[in-house]
Amino acid sequence: MTENDTSRPWFDRLTPRAGVRVQMIAAAVVWMVGMAFLYGFGISFIVKLVRIAHPAIWSIALIIIAALVLGGIKARYVLIRYADKATARIEHRGRTCFFGFFSWSSWVFVAVMMGGGIVLRLFTPLPDLDWGLVFLATLYIGVGTGLLIADRVFWVSALRSEEVHEPWAE
C-alpha cells in the first residue's frame, strides 16, 4: 500500500476507477444502447402501423424523414451541447469513479426520460391509434437519431484523448 491509499477512506478505495478514455467509451456506449432501444421501438411502431392501417410507402418515408429532421434539430440544439459538457466534465475529473461519467442529475434525467417513454407506450392510448403510432414512431426515431448524431462527440473525444498521468493510478 502506498501512502495515498491509506489516506483515503476505505469506501473510496473500493470505488471502481477508470481513466478518461474508458469513461468516454462508456458514455458513448450508453448513448448507443439508448439509440438502439429507441430505434427498435420506433421501427416496431412503424411495423404495427403497417399491419393495422396499411399506409402508402410515401407516408412511411415521411415519418422517417420527419424523425430524421427532428433528430437533427434535437442533436444540434440540445444533445451536442450536453455531450460537450459531459466530455469536459470527464476530462476535468480525470481518473475517477467509472460510473461518474455522467453526473447524478444526468442519470436522474435518463431515468425520467425512460419513465416518460414507458408511460407513453403502456399507459396511454397512443399505441392503439393510427396517429398515435405515427407520433410515437417519429418521436422515438427522432430522439434516437439525435443520440446517434451527438454520440460522435464522445467517440471523437475517446479516440483523441490521452490518458492523464496520475501517480496514484500506477
Q: What is the pLDDT of residues 23-43, one digit of tens each?
A: 999 999 999 999 999 999 999
Closest CA to 42 of 154, 160, 147, 153: 147
pTM of the model: 0.84
CA-wise closest residue to 45 among 60, 32, 31, 33: 60
- Please state the domain count of the chain: 1
The answer as to whether 166 is a domain residue is no
Is residue 8 domain-resident? Answer: no
* 114 found inside a domain: yes
Assigned domain for 167 exists = no
Angle at 32 between CA 15 and CA 92, to 5 degrees: 45
Domain assignment present for 3: no
Q: Range of 157's domain?
A: 15-161
Helix%, strand%, coil% for the chain, nearest 5: 80, 0, 15
Confidence of residue 5 (pLDDT cuts 50, 70, 90): low
Give the tens place of pLDDT for each residue, 69-102: 999 999 999 999 999 999 999 999 888 888 888 8
**Residue 101 lies inside a defined structural domain of this protein:** yes
Q: Answer yes or no: is 120 within a domain.
A: yes
Beta strands per DSSP E along the chain: 17-18, 96-97
Strand partners, 96: 18
Cα–Cα distance, 24 to 167 (Å, whole number): 21
Residue 150 domain flag: yes
Mean pLDDT of the chain: 88
Which pLDDT score, from 0 to 100, does residue 168 have? Answer: 44
pLDDT given at position 170? 43
